[in-house]
């Protein structure tokens, strides 16, 4: 089940709201747990047992870590937890990738398992690992109530497409939280914003990407339009989902950390990755990068660590070599920026850094969405005009003119322009009153528009489900 569906909006959500707010506080976690499992079961049926296994494993290991704190046994239980989580992820997500790679390298043909990937496994295994590691580090106390931990692991707002919510972020709220119209109203506003981002912008941009892929006469300009459309599509897809998750969290009394911070206003790839999928970046930073030495080691070690981190980031996004290539492409530019480019850009006009950033981010997204490594290479070569394509033709004119306003709205919506305008309006005496009227109205308009697009059955796949 996805948030942007009629079944979620008009069946699942009313049902859980009814039960959740009808029961006393001590039963609210039970209601959340039951509905979260139903939410996962709706799409994955028996894989709900993986959630149970993961919860039992990390519940047991964390209690044992705490019991044997300061001894080698504590470390052993940490290793057991991490190994089991990684083994689970490796089996479901990477086993066939490994076999395919061995087959390709050796020329043999070992059979593939072809096991279906459990939705959201990359998100919830990272969450549970962070929990056990944080218990080992003494940053959080092990949860003694199994149902509470199981509720955290299976919490439906962030279960299948993030953000990666760490236990310490919601520890206090899991044990007791307050509910108010303010939290509920803000949650609803945030949820509707995310829904509109996904349905009104991302899905339409996705339709443009599909049109590009099926077009028989592509042009250089069409390639650039495609690159921009896909880049914006994946942003609104994922940040829209994160908004919906954060909004739903608020409705049920949780405060999740932000996952995006206007990444397209960055002036470098390094800055971009501090603003994009923040929960994943900080996870790798805290649990891989810093333990491997971070930036305080020598250059060679830092170089190695950076390449490892980005190869892993690529693999996290997909079990295939093009994703590794994409991760390494990003790593190369992060390394170049750290060593040369950022200093060089300080001596150049600001526009130079912007142009560099936009070009590299578009190329990186084209690689991300490419049809294999050769397909990605062909796309980039075509963008650069080395394949003899025309610059423009009538089909390109059509798709550009039909989607020009969508692209402009999307670009503006990806910047903090509206947030800044609202902040300025609030400074004026009548500003708050205007916004108090405008916000409920805009919520209603966006909700009605989003529902109308959903009912018409337009293009609606969530890109981040495949991770």
Partner 1 sequence: MKSKIKNIIISIGFVIFIFGYLIIGIIQPDSEISFSERRKLNKFPEISWESLISGDFFENFEKYAPDHAPFREEFRTIKALSHFYLFNQKDNNGIFIINGNALKILYPLREKSVTEAGEKLNEVYSAYLTGMKVYYTVIPDKNTYAAEKYNYPVIDFNRCVELLGNAVSDMQYIDLLDCLAADDFYKTDPHWSQVNLEKTVLRLSEIMDFKVPDIKTYTVNRLYPFYGAYYGQSALPLAPDELLYLTNDTIRNATAYDPVSDTSFPIYNTEKFGGIDSYEVFLNGGLPLIEITNNNADTEKELILFRDSSGSSLAPLLIDGYKKITLIDLRYISANLIGRFVDFKDQDVLFMYNIAVLNNNKMLK
Please work out the total of residues on this chain that contact partner 1, with binding judged by CB under 8 A.
57
**Residue 312 touching partner 1 (CB under 8 A):** no
The DSSP output letter for 143 is: P
Q: Which of 252, 453, 462, 467 binds partner 1 (CB under 8 A)?
A: 453
Residue whose CB is less far from partner 1, 153 or 205? 205
Q: Which of 29, 81, 204, 414 binds partner 1 (CB under 8 A)?
A: 204
Residue whose CB is less far from partner 1, 11 or 146? 11
Distance of CA 152 to the CA centre of its chain: 18
Per-position b or e across 6-18, b if 16+ CB within 10 A of its CB = eebbeebbeebee
Q: Which of 263, 317, 333, 335 is catalytic?
A: 317
**Residue 444 touching partner 1 (CB under 8 A):** yes
**Residue 433 touching partner 1 (CB under 8 A):** yes
Per-position b or e across 427-439, b if 16+ CB within 10 A of its CB = eeeeeeeeeeeee
* Structure token pair of residue 311: 């190869």
**Residue 184 touching partner 1 (CB under 8 A):** yes
Residue 254 main-chain phi, psi, to 5 deg: -105, 150
Q: Which of the residues 18 through 77 are near partner 1 (CB under 8 A)?
A: 42-45
**Residue 150 touching partner 1 (CB under 8 A):** no
Residue whose CB is less far from partner 1, 60 or 393? 393
CA–CA distance from 111 to each of 92, 116, 438 (Å)?
15, 15, 59
Q: Which of the residues 393 through 422 are near partner 1 (CB under 8 A)?
A: 394-395, 397-398, 401-406, 409
Q: Helix, strand, coil shares of the chain as percentages rounded to 5?
A: 75, 0, 25
Q: How many CB atoms lie within 10 A of CB 144?
A: 11
Please give the full DSSP string across 170-189, using - where no structure is assigned.
HHHHHH-----HHHHHHHHH
**Residue 17 touching partner 1 (CB under 8 A):** yes
Indicate if 277 belongs to the active site: no
Q: Which of the residues 207 through 226 are near partner 1 (CB under 8 A)?
A: 214-217
* Structure token pair of residue 142: 């092990």
Residues that bind partner 1 (CB under 8 A): 1, 5-7, 9-11, 13-14, 17, 42-45, 181-182, 184-186, 188-189, 192, 204, 214-217, 394-395, 397-398, 401-406, 409, 432-433, 436-437, 439-440, 443-444, 447-449, 451-458
Point out the residues that are catalytic: 317
């Amino acid at each position: 089940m996805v948030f942007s569906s009629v079944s979620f909006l008009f069946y699942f959500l009313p049902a859980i709201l009814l039960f959740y707010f009808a029961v006393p506080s001590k039963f609210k976690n039970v209601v959340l747990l039951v509905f979260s499992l139903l939410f996962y079961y709706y799409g994955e049926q028996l894989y709900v047992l993986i959630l149970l296994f993961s919860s039992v494993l990390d519940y047991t290991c964390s209690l044992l870590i705490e019991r044997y704190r300061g001894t080698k046994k504590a470390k052993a239980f940490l290793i057991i937890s991490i190994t089991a989580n990684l083994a689970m992820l490796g089996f479901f997500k990477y086993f066939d990738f490994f076999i395919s790679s061995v087959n390709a390298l050796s020329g043999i043909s070992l059979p593939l398992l072809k096991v279906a990937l459990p939705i959201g496994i990359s998100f919830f295994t990272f969450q549970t690992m962070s929990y056990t590691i944080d218990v080992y580090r003494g940053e959080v106390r092990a949860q003694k109530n199994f149902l509470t931990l199981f509720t955290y692991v299976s919490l439906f707002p962030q279960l299948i497409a993030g953000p990666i919510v760490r236990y310490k972020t919601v520890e206090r709220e899991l044990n007791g939280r307050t509910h108010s119209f303010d939290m509920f109203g803000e949650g609803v506003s945030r949820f509707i914003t995310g829904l509109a981002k996904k349905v009104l912008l991302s899905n339409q941009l996705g339709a443009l990407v599909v049109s590009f892929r099926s077009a028989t006469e592509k042009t250089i300009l069409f390639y650039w339009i495609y690159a921009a459309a896909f880049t914006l599509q994946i942003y609104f897809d994922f940040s829209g989902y994160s908004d919906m998750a954060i909004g739903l969290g608020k409705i049920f009394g949780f405060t999740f950390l932000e996952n995006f911070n206007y990444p397209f206003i960055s002036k470098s790839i390094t800055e971009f990755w501090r603003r994009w999928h923040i929960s994943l970046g900080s996870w790798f930073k805290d649990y891989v990068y810093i333990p491997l030495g971070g930036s305080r080691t020598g250059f060679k070690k830092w170089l190695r660590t950076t390449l490892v981190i980005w190869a892993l980031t690529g693999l996290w996004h997909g079990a295939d070599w093009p994703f590794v290539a994409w991760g390494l492409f990003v790593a190369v530019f992060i390394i170049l920026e750290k060593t040369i480019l950022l200093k060089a850009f300080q001596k150049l006009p600001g526009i130079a850094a912007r142009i560099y950033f936009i070009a590299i981010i578009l190329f990186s997204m084209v690689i991300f969405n490419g049809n294999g490594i050769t397909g990605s290479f062909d796309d980039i070569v075509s963008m650069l005009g080395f394949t003899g394509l025309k610059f423009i033709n009538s089909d390109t004119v059509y798709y550009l003119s039909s989607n020009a306003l969508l692209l402009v709205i999307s670009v503006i919506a990806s910047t903090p322009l509206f947030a800044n305008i609202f902040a300025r309006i609030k400074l004026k005496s009548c500003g708050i009153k205007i916004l108090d009227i405008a916000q409920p109205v805009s919520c209603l308009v966006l909700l009605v528009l989003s529902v109308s697009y959903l009912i018409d059955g337009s293009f609606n796949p969530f890109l981040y489900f495949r991770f």
